[in-house]
Structure 1
Amino acid sequence: MTDHAATDAALAAEIATHAGELLLELQRSGRFEGRELGDVGDARADALILERLRAARPADCILSEESADIGDRHCAQRVWVIDPLDGTRSYSEGRREWSVHVALVEDGLPTHGAVALPTRQETWRSDRPSELATAQRTPRILVSGSRTPVEADALAAALGGELIRMGSAGYKAMAVLRGDADIYYHSGGQHEWDNCAPAAVALASGLHCSRIDGTQFRYNRADTLVPDLLFAHPDWAERALAAIAAL
């Protein structure tokens, strides 16, 4: 079982990395710009990931942001949840804040995964846990740059923290894992593909990952909506949850 688990994690990392390289090459080619670049990048990265997964794991189901959900996967034990290009707007505008997500969900839980950050030449993976940096006394709180929660300023004030706006769910989650921030907070709604791979990687390294009421993430649901999330350094998790509950 251990060897199989390691293979699943390695497969996720390999595929996410290769999709990220494809996206970088496309972005640098100058053949497409703006929204067209984002659309073409989404489609080509999705095609690459689907082809590789279907070849390597033909018996598994797949849920992708960019492919039709035909409704046959929510009863499956093993489902790959992918976001071929998280942060499409950042990507299409030539910014750094985008990522590629590949995760395996087993019985509703994110067991293995990888998040590629191509502009940083990094791929974070669940089979290679990272040692967490020391939490800061003044927490750095990441929120969406385009969909900032209306209560974000109040949360920052309650925790005595600094609010930082940033694109891409995966990019933000890995910033907390890297130690560049202490909390990633979102309450504006996402879908499973936005945060499944980040959760798989972050949980493996000991970050707190949950809904903002503290309940555990569950994936491969018939409804893919994930209304809110909290990724936090464990030293800040309880205080963040208490502050959120008091808002």
Structure 2
Amino acid sequence: MPAHDPKADLTLLRDAALAAGDIARRHFGNGPKTWDKGDGQGPVTEADLEIDTMLRDSLRAARPAYGWLSEETADGPERLDTDTVFIIDPIDGTRAFIEGSRSFSHSLAIVRCGVPIAAAVHLPMLDRMYLAHQGGGATLNGAAIGPTGRAALAGATVLGAKSNFDNDRWTGGTPPVEQCFRSSLAYRLALVAGGRFDAMITLRMAWEWDIAAGALLVAEAGGRIASQRGATLRFNNSHPQLDGVVAGSPAIAEALLDRLI
């Protein structure tokens, strides 16, 4: 296999995401053991931890030279010494998973030199597999996807938590958009990449594992994605957080960025 083959890496992520879905389905609705991670980090379940262990063991066995960053694995400096790293969220939307919502996802990405090159976002309870690799476009269950192409901001559908639409965050007040919500950031990005919504925003610091896979989906689908300041997103930072995210159909993303304070 050639070094850093995005297609081969994508096949690896797809198969791993399917295996993660098998574990999630086994626990879903069966009252999995749950703990609070403390320090405002939210809950974690035995399903998160089982999936994390399976992914870490299988993916690192397949690509031992790649670094590892996951929400459910203690972080260390070793990943900063590698040019290629797995960035993983075993279950994005753990609260939704606990509450019985089917919209949680598995978010898997491979990042090289700060840029995602392969990504899988899998929603096992909805039978949706979003895939992308660098230069290869983005797909949902094998069919090519793209953003809405909407140009007018007024009436655009924008995914985001309610607080993101507070008047004091925007020049001239909250933009005239239809406010929508989904619990998983990875799923929000996938929905935008697939043209189900015009844009998504998160105006707080965002963990890399919530964003890396979805960022490649949006980019390869032909959308626009940036930090809330309009900067290009870079991954595998020493502190793995990003300064918010705006993504969407190019014209809508730019219009939102122009209005942010």
Establish whether residue 212 from structure 1 lines up as the match of residue 218 from structure 2.
no
1:235 to 240, 251, 254: 251
Q: Aligned equivalents of 1:33 and 1:3: distance in 2?
A: 38
C-alpha displacement of 1:109: 0.9
Q: Is the 8 A contact 1:33 1:92 kept in 2?
A: no
Give the drift of 1:178: 2.2
**Pairs within 5 Å for 1:30-41:** 30-32=30-32, 38-41=44-47
CA distance in 2, matches of 1:92, 1:168: 13
Which digits, 9 at most, give the CA deviation of each residue in 1:169-200, with x for residues without a partner?
Answer: 01111121222211101112221111011112
Q: Distance in 2 between matches of 1:89 and 1:186?
A: 18
Q: Is 2:83 the counterpart of 1:77?
A: yes
Q: Unmatched 5+ residue regions in structure 1? A: none
Q: Which residue of 2 aligns with 1:132?
A: 147
TM-score computed with the length of structure 1 as normaliser: 0.89
CA shift, 1:77, in A, is: 0.4
Counterpart CA distance in 1 for 2:209 and 2:16 is 15
Q: Is the 8 A contact 2:147 2:248 kept in 1?
A: no
Relative to 1, partners in 2 of residues 1:153 and 1:206: Cα closer, same or farther, differing over 3 Å?
Answer: farther
Match runs of 1:41-120 below 5 Å: 41-120=47-126
State the distance in 2 between where 1:144 and 1:45 align: 27
Q: 1:64 to 1:152 in 2, by over 3 A?
A: farther
Contact 2:218 2:248 in 1 (8 A): no
CA contact 1:188–1:227 (8 Å) conserved in 2: yes
Distance change (3 Å), C-alpha of 1:178 and 1:141: same
The match for 2:161 is 144
Letter in 2 for 1:135: R
1:243, distance to aligned residue in structure 2 (A)? 1.3
Change in 2 beyond 3 A, CA 1:42/1:188: same
Q: In structure 1, the residue corresponding to 2:96 is in which secondary structure?
A: helix
Query: Secondary structure, in 3 states, of the residue corresponding to 2:251?
Result: helix
Distance 1:72 1:35, change over 3 A: closer
Contact 2:158 2:178 in 1 (8 A): yes
Q: Any conservation in 2 of the 1:35–1:92 contact (CA below 8 Å)? A: no
Which aligned pairs between 1:114-193 and structure 2 lie closer than 5 A? 114-127=120-133, 128-129=137-138, 130-135=145-150, 137=152, 138-144=155-161, 148-149=163-164, 151=166, 158-193=174-209
Alpha-carbon shift at residue 87 of structure 1 (Å): 0.7
Relative distance call for 1:188 and 1:152 in structure 2 (3 A) is farther
SS in 1 for 2:210: helix
Question: Residue 227 of structure 1: CA displacement?
Answer: 2.6
SS of corresponding position for 1:49:
helix
Tell me, yes or no, if the aligned pair for 1:34 and 1:93 is still in contact at 8 Å. Answer: no
Does 2:19 correspond to 1:18? yes
Q: After TM superposition, give the deviation of residue 55 of structure 1 in Å.
A: 1.6
Aligned residue for 2:81, secondary structure, equals coil
Which stretch shifts more, 35-44 or 198-207?
35-44
| Aligned-partner residue type, residue 19 of structure 1 | A
Instruction: Render the CA deviation track for 1:2-25: whole Å, top value 9, x for unaligned.
Output: 992200111112211220221022
The runs of 4+ residues in structure 1 deviating greater than 4 Å are 33-38, 152-158
Q: TM-score, normalised by structure 2?
A: 0.84
> For the Cα contact (< 8 Å) 2:92–2:210, is it kept in 1?
yes
Whether contact under 8 Å (1:101, 1:115) holds in the other structure is yes
- Partner secondary structure for residue 159 of structure 1: coil
Higher helix share: 1
Residues 1:140 and 1:74: Cα distance change in structure 2 (over 3 Å): same
Counterpart-to-counterpart distance in 2, 1:152 and 1:26: 41
